[in-house]
Amino acid sequence: MLVRDPQDRRITGVVTASDLSLQFQQLAEPFLLLREIELHIRQLLQEKVLPEDLDWLGSADTNAPKPKSISDLSFGGYIRLLQRPQVWVRLSLNIDQAALTAQLEEVRQVRLGDPHLRLRFNAY
């Protein structure tokens, strides 16, 4: 594809399929990374969360419907479960709980569209 100057109509560049592919990758990659993070967290919790943990989440937020499974939860629900001591013990992760939940809170803010955090996320 040829690129023309809008004023004098001279050809000023060429856009190749490779250029378009690279641009698509740059635009889509943050969303794909967010999805991967969410899927990994969901899989991790799916194996360790008990029905009483979901009941606990439902009782903590009276405005939301009671979740029946992990797939009913928002990203914030995943974070709240990771903050629950009973769930954390069952997970047996070799990482600091506060550090993990703080990082996931940043991911949640990126998902919600916080422009300041989105800029930091794109820097990775």
pLDDT in tens, the chain (124 residues): 878 888 888 888 888 899 889 988 888 888 888 889 999 999 999 989 999 999 888 776 656 678 888 988 989 999 999 999 999 999 999 999 999 999 999 989 888 875 554 554 444 4
- Is the pTM for the entire model greater than 0.85? no
Domain boundaries, the chain: 29-122
pLDDT of 115: 57
Check: CB of residue 88 under 8 Å from CB of residue 82: yes
Tell me what pLDDT residue 124 has: 44
pLDDT confidence of residue 103: 94
Given this model, what pLDDT does residue 64 score?
66
Count the alpha carbons within 13 Å of 101 in the hemisphere toward its beta carbon: 15
Answer whether 111's CB lies under 8 Å from 36's CB: no
For residue 65, what pLDDT is reported?
75
For 2, left (φ over 0), alpha (ψ -120 to 50), or beta?
beta
